[in-house]
Amino acid sequence: MPISLIILAAGQGTRMNSDLPKVLHKVAGAPLLIHAMAAGAALGPERTVIVAGHGAEAVTKAALDFDETATVVVQEEQLGTAHAVAQAAPALSGASGDAIVLYGDTPFIRAETLEAMQEARARHAIVVLGFEARDPGRYGRLITEGESLSRIVEFKDATAEERAITLCNSGVICADAALLADLVSQVGNDNVSGEYYLTDIVELARDRGLSAGIVTCAEAETMGVNTRAQLAEAEATFQARARATALEDGVTLTAPDTVHFAFNTVVGRDAIIGPNVVFGPGVTIESGAEIRAFCHLEGCHVSRGATVGPFARLRTGAELAEDVHIGNFVEIKNSVLDEGVKAGHLTYLGDAHVGAHTNIGAGTITCNYDGVFKHRTEIGRDVFIGSDTMLVAPVRVGDGAMTASGSVVTRDVEAEALAIGRAPQVVKYGFAKKFFDRLREAKAKGAR
């Protein structure tokens, strides 16, 4: 059955004490909103509607960067969850099938849970996601009759008996899209807060003779983020899950608690990840590769058999083919390194292509930026780049060529040629002794 998503992301999040909209604070390198969108995207939604409010322009950009087909509507006044859903209703006009309401500050709802809610829709007009809370606190309570849900009571409006209930409301709701819009239009604000509660649609549906049901999930899935402390807790939760998943998938983590994954890190079976490795967004590590201690990677691809580090940095656009070796204090950016390339230490390769089995000597730099434009360096196969070579781009080094150590290369080097780009050495015999004798004499006289 087709499904649409409504993701509520209008809140300011005053308890975050931040100018940034709450849903744009990041967990594992991605805004909270993107985690919610990704969970819903697994269902293959027909339409996705984001309800923005505070910081709507920034929220819109983040949403469309992730899914350019999404629709963003603005809730000018935050008058409650039902009011927010009502703002999304016009964007779902004519949509077939169900709609699921998600929250931009609740990043851990699993796709499997949403699928279970879809399946439960075969038995109920409305399905609510609930959980058993260790400490129910101020959550809304789910009031049941047998296996059906009779109503949802917000904490502020609950009696002492109702507050003793531990089955709580996550806020996630699944219903026929047209029915949801109709019910929301009937919600009033006669309650302690004077808000339009989405939860009121359960009673409205039952008044029409329609049934409501519950799907439950682990409390950890429903974790909402409202404070910096909760943001840190969410990060820890994500990392713990990511590490456990990696280990289960056959990845070796030599010090699991020190490895930090991004929301979209992909690591293949039999890869080895050393201590204190940090993955930014967009990293793929193929099976059998090794990332050694204290490396930072983002937006890069490391192929089978490659080794990286320790203390290396791979930036966006770094592509390492099979059996490439990147050593300590090497930085790669927007560069392709073909099979068997070695760059052992103290090197920067930016905006470059390095051919197979080339050796890059220590201290090599591709001088790719002239202060305005970036330029490319092309290095062929089986090249030997001597230590401390400056390759001033744009420049090309042919197959089988070499550069002398300490060279500044400003012109193309033909295949199998040697490039020497350094000043002639001048030796002044006896100069060092005379020079230091003069300095010591001056020092003894108190001169500086």
We report the CATH number of the domain holding residue 365 as: 2.160.10.10
One domain, residues 114 and 26? yes
> In this structure, is residue 185 part of a structural domain?
yes
One domain, residues 63 and 202? yes
One domain, residues 315 and 293? yes
Tens of pLDDT, residues 359-379 = 999 999 999 999 999 999 999
Residue 64 — pLDDT band, cuts 50, 70, 90? very high
Return the bridge partners of 145, or none.
148
Which tokens hold the place of 189?
């604000």
Domains in the chain, number: 2
> In this structure, is residue 429 part of a structural domain?
no
Instruction: State the pLDDT at residue 445.
Output: 86
Q: What is the CATH number of the domain that holds 98?
A: 3.90.550.10
Give the structural domain span for 146. Answer: 3-222
Q: Which residue has the tokens 């199998």?
A: 416
Query: 236: which residues sit within 8 A by CB, 6+ positions away?
Result: none
Flag whether pLDDT at 446 surpasses 90.
no
Flag whether pLDDT at 447 surpasses 80.
no
> In this structure, is residue 425 part of a structural domain?
no
Name the residue among 30, 31, 32, 70 with its Cα closest to residue 51.
70
Contact 419, 403 (CB under 8 A): yes
One domain, residues 203 and 237? no
Contact 43, 111 (CB under 8 A): yes
Domain-terminating residue out of 222, 244, 265: 222
Contact 198, 184 (CB under 8 A): yes
Least confident of 140-154, 251-265, 292-306: 140-154
> In this structure, is residue 428 part of a structural domain?
no
Which tokens hold the place of 366?
């591709």
If phi over 0 gives left and psi between -120 and 50 gives alpha, with beta otherwise, what is residue 424? Answer: beta
Domain-terminating residue out of 155, 190, 222: 222
Q: Counting Cβ atoms within 10 Å, is residue 291 exposed (0-12), middle (13-18) or buried (19+)?
A: buried
Taking the CA atoms of the chain, what radius of gyration do you get in angstroms?
30
> In this structure, is residue 442 part of a structural domain?
no
> In this structure, is residue 313 part of a structural domain?
yes
Flag whether pLDDT at 62 surpasses 70.
yes
When pLDDT is averaged across residues 246-257 and rounded to a whole number, the result is 98
When pLDDT is averaged across residues 204-223 and rounded to a whole number, the result is 94
- H-helix or E-strand containing 326? strand 325-333
One domain, residues 21 and 84? yes
Domain-terminating residue out of 177, 197, 222: 222
Residue 194 — pLDDT band, cuts 50, 70, 90? confident
One domain, residues 333 and 273? yes
Tens of pLDDT, residues 66-98 = 999 999 999 998 899 999 999 999 999 988 899
One domain, residues 237 and 279? yes
Catalytic residue set = 345
Top pLDDT among 191 and 436 is at 436
One domain, residues 99 and 216? yes
One domain, residues 237 and 276? yes
